[in-house]
Amino acid sequence: MSRQNEYLNEKQIKKLQTDFISWYENERRNLPWRQTNDPYFIWISEIMLQQTRVDTVIAYFYRFTKKYPTIKALAQSDEQELLKVWEGLGYYSRARNLKKAAQQIMTEFDGVFPSDIEAIRSLKGIGPYTAGAIASIAFQKAEPAIDGNAMRVISRLYGVDSDIAKPASRKIFDEILRKLIPTSAPGDFNQALMDLGSGVCTPKKPECLSCPLKNFCFSYKTQQQEKFPVKTKATKPKDVYYVAIAIVNDSGEYLLVQRPDEGLLAKMWTFPLIEVSRKDFEMAQKNFAKNAAPIDLFSVAEEVPLPASLPQDVVWQKRHLGEIKHIFSHLKWHVLLFYGVAQSNFAKPLRGRFVPIKEFSTYVFPKPQQKLVDLLEKSKQ
C-alpha cells in the first residue's frame, strides 16, 4: 500500500476542513433525516440507505417513522406488520435487526439510544460505518463513517492504492479520516463525504472542477482520477433455477406458501417454488413457451411432460406464463411461472393457504413474488 499524498500538514488540513464544511452548508441535500439530531431517526435512515438509493428511501422513511415513531414502538412491533412496512426495500434482515436492536435498547439501555461508540456497535445489525454515522451526526463524536463513498474520496485525495474490497484496508482509511474529521463538526464532515461521493466524486467521470477538495487532491493534480479507488471485482452471483406455480382453487384463490423461519426471505410469502436444474429449466422454457399456440392448454399433470416435481391433483396449463429474474447479493434467481387449477382432492402444504388476490396486499411479499404476481395479472389481459 502507498499513500502518495502525504504532504498535508496541520494548516492545510484545517483549510480543507473549512472549505469542505462551507461547501456542505451551501450544497447539502435537503433530506428528512437531516432535519433532526435524534439518533433514532438517524439510525433508521442509515439502515435504510444500505444498498438502497436515497430517492427510494425517502418515502419509506416517512412511512416507517409514522408507523414506529419511537424506539419503544419499534421494539413492540409485530414482525409481519414490520416486514410489510419494509416491503420493497429488500434485504429484510435489516428490518428484523432493527426490531432486535430496539429491544436491546429497551432492556439494556433503559429505552435510551446509547451515545458511547462501543455501546452503539453492540446493537444488532449495526456495523462500524453505521455506528460512526450515528455517533458523529447525533452525538458529535469525531468518529469516521467509512463506506464506499468515503473510501473513493479518500483514495483519490491521498492516492491510496489499497484494495477497498479487502476488509484489512478499512484500517488505512480509518487512520486518515481521524486526522481529517474536525471535532467541531464531525457529523457535517461525514455527511459532506456522503454527498461528495454520491454527487461529485462519482465512480466514473467525477466532476472534479466543482469539487471543493480539488486543490488538495492527489489524483486531480496528477490526472489519475480513474485509477482510484483500487477495487477487485465482486464475485458473480450464483445462478439458481426455479419453477414457480400459481395454483388456483374453485373459489378463485391462489396458493401461497410461507417460507421457513430462518434463511433467505424468512417468513415471507410466495407462490410455491421448486428448484430445478438448469437443464430442466431450459427444457421447460423451450417446450412450454408462453407464446405457444393457445390450443389444448390444460391437461392433468400425469399426462403432460411438464417439469418434474410439479404437484399432482392439479390441472396444468401446458405453457408457462413467463420468466422473471431477480438478483440477490450472492444469488441470481431465474423463475418460470406455471399456472394450474387444483382438483378437489388437492392437499395444500403445511405452511400454505389459499388466498384471494384482493388480500395479497396484506401479505409480506418479497420482490420476486411481486414480479410473479405481475406476470399472472398480465396473463389475464
Rg, the chain, Cα only: 26
The answer for residues whose C-beta is within 8 angstroms of residue 41's C-beta and 6 or more apart is 33, 65
Quote the CA–CA distance of 172 and 2 in Å, as a whole number: 10
One of 10, 25, 46, 303 is an active-site residue; which one? 46
Give the closest residue to 229 by CA, choosing from 180, 164, 158: 164
Quote the CA–CA distance of 75 and 31 in Å, as a whole number: 25
DSSP state of 308: T
Quote the CA–CA distance of 179 and 182 in Å, as a whole number: 8
Cα–Cα distances in Å, from 70 out to 66, 82, 278, 323, 333? 9, 14, 47, 42, 37
* 190: its cell numbers: 461525514
Active site residue 46: yes
Q: Which residues are designated catalytic?
A: 46
